Amino acid sequence: MTDNAWDNLQRGDSEAIWHPYAPAVGGPDVFPVVSASGVRLELADGRQLIDGMASWWCAIHGYNHPVLNRAVESQLHAVSHVMFGGLTHPPAVKLAQMLVKLTPPGLDRVFFSDSGSVAVEVAMKMAIQYWHGLNRPEKHKLLALRNGYHGDTIGAMSLCDPVTGMHYLFGDTLPKQLFAPAPQCSFDGPCTDAEMAEITTLLSDHSHEIAAVVLEPIVQGAGGMRFYSPEYLVKVRALCDHYDVLLIFDEIATGFGRTGKLFALEHAGVVPDILCLGKALTGGYMTLAATLCNERICSGISNSEAGAFMHGPTFMANPLACATAIASIQLLLSQPWQRTVQRLQTELAAGLAPARKLESVAEVRTLGAIGVIELKEPVDMRVVQPLFVERGVWVRPFGKLVYAMPPYVMGSADVATLTAAMVDVVAQL
Ligand SMILES: *Cc1c(COP(=O)(O)O)cnc(C)c1O
């Protein structure tokens, strides 16, 4: 494409489009992508960028993958969409069976929705309707963790970190939830009883009004890219059982291998009552999410006044998305993905290690296919974003965090280029 095409795209975009977390007018420049293949994004001027973000952690197999392309194409000729009220279809049935089989025993029922935030809303509604069914409607609050992130819709937002989640902007519209401190224990370390003191007090004081504890297991993602001890999850499960509160795990970011286990909950061997999946579910091809729950939830909701679970998105269980998810999961499981994620962890750790010596860096950490440089000060995106593009990589920092969550198909040389660019750019700040 010509310079003109680039300019036209940028101008057209700035005139008509709103970008995430950006002002309508006067936001930073956006970069036009015209195609993508493997781990490379091609810009409108022909430049290629190594994608360190996997499109917000979704595109685990990279772009334009022949297996996923074929899945979309063949489903397209069967049925691209059909309503899910009163009807079902083969991709939904097969995908639900796969998810039930891959997740821990007990999580046996699947509710499909169209995005991660909605999967979280569904989980919240399941928990609230469950307690209605048990004639305890006063148990309708959620207990979430500081530094958490669960999505951008009103309900999901009410669970996000109350400070960085910008709760003050939405006033009384947001439901008021309870918040426990973010886990401080490291991934490799123990989780002491002292660490559990505050969440224990919250549960013992408020369990009469709490429907569920909701958290991101092992990795708190968009709320800070923080990793914590599996022991914390074991202790939270015990507290939930003791205080008769449900447990919801949001594995929208961690599911499908990102932390080195298929699901992060496997690090702890802990099973929640409700599990949210999204992001990498379709390998980044289409928007699809799922909320799984156990028999206890199903029967509780069946006993509720409504007798049914009261939710039903228009695009629920979209056949194209379900067919792609089946292909993506089969593709993942057909290869030695644990070894791949382990290799990425080793290479990310080695590549980012030099950043430890930099004055501006607070911490460097890696877990699975996640590599994080935490700075002492927030980055200026207007300055940083073009620096990455000039180096031929796509990295999108937020706040103090410069991180990579690459597609699993990224080769060693590209990881080296990606991490060197991250260290370089951070060194320049
Ligand atoms: C991204 C994310 C969500 C929200 O998913 P969307 O598809 O963006 O609505 C929820 N929870 C976690 C942990 C996430 O990482």
The protein residue with its alpha carbon nearest to ligand 1, atom 11, reads: 150
Q: What is the pTM of this model?
A: 0.98
Q: Are residues 199 and 172 in the same domain?
A: yes
Residue from 154, 252, 286 whose mutation best tests the ligand 1 pocket (most atoms within 8 A of CB): 252
Domain extent for 187: 70-333
**From the CA of 59, how far away is ligand 1's center (Å)?**
14
Q: Measure the CA–CA gap between 214 and 256, rounded to whole angstroms.
A: 19
Of the candidates 308, 333, 358, which is a domain's last residue? Answer: 333
The protein residue with its alpha carbon nearest to ligand 1, atom 10, reads: 150
Identity at 305, one-letter amino acid code? E
CB 277, CB 257: distance < 8 Å: no
Q: For residue 98, give the nearest of 292, 267, 239 by alpha carbon.
A: 292
- CATH of residue 15's domain is 3.90.1150.10
Ramachandran assignment for 358, one of left (phi > 0), alpha (psi -120 to 50 degrees), beta (any other): beta
Q: Are residues 258 and 367 in the same domain?
A: no
Q: Relative to the CA of 151, which ligand 1 atom is closest?
A: 4
Angle at 249 between CA 137 and CA 224, to 5 degrees: 115
**From the CA of 303, how far away is ligand 1's center (Å)?**
30
Angle at 212 between CA 134 and CA 273, to 5 degrees: 80
Q: Are residues 51 and 163 in the same domain?
A: no
Whether 21 is a known active-site residue: answer yes
Whether 279 is a known active-site residue: answer yes
Tell me if residue 367 falls in helix, strand or coil. Answer: strand
Q: What is the DSSP letter of 174?
A: S
Q: Are residues 210 and 354 in the same domain?
A: no
Q: Specify the number of domains making up the chain.
A: 2
Q: Are residues 81 and 24 in the same domain?
A: no
Q: Are residues 164 and 265 in the same domain?
A: yes
Ramachandran assignment for 202, one of left (phi > 0), alpha (psi -120 to 50 degrees), beta (any other): alpha
Q: Are residues 22 and 120 in the same domain?
A: no
Q: Are residues 299 and 271 in the same domain?
A: yes
The pLDDT of residue 1? 55
pLDDT in tens, the chain (429 residues): 567 889 999 999 999 999 999 999 998 889 999 999 999 999 999 999 999 999 999 999 999 999 999 999 999 999 999 999 999 999 999 999 999 999 999 999 999 999 999 999 999 999 999 999 999 999 999 999 999 999 999 999 999 999 988 888 998 999 999 999 999 999 999 999 999 999 999 999 999 999 999 999 999 999 999 999 999 999 999 999 999 999 999 999 999 999 999 999 999 999 999 999 999 999 999 999 999 999 999 999 999 888 999 999 999 999 999 999 999 999 999 999 999 999 999 999 999 999 999 999 999 999 999 999 999 999 999 999 999 999 999 999 999 999 999 999 999 999 999 999 999 999 998
Q: From start to end of 169-294, where are the E strands? A: 178-180, 210-215, 219-220, 226-227, 246-250, 274-277, 289-293
The pLDDT of residue 305? 87
Of the candidates 333, 367, 385, which is a domain's last residue? Answer: 333
Q: Are residues 346 and 278 in the same domain?
A: no
**Residues near ligand 1 with C-beta < 6 Å?**
115-117, 120, 149-151, 216, 221-222, 250, 252-253, 278-279
The pLDDT of residue 168? 86
Whether 149 is a known active-site residue: answer yes
Q: Are residues 269 and 378 in the same domain?
A: no
Q: Are residues 91 and 191 in the same domain?
A: yes
The pLDDT of residue 164? 86
- CATH of residue 261's domain is 3.40.640.10
Of the candidates 333, 362, 390, which is a domain's last residue? Answer: 333
The protein residue with its alpha carbon nearest to ligand 1, atom 5, reads: 116
Whether 130 is a known active-site residue: answer no
**From the CA of 135, how far away is ligand 1's center (Å)?**
31
Q: Are residues 180 and 281 in the same domain?
A: yes
CB 331, CB 101: distance < 8 Å: no
The pLDDT of residue 2? 63
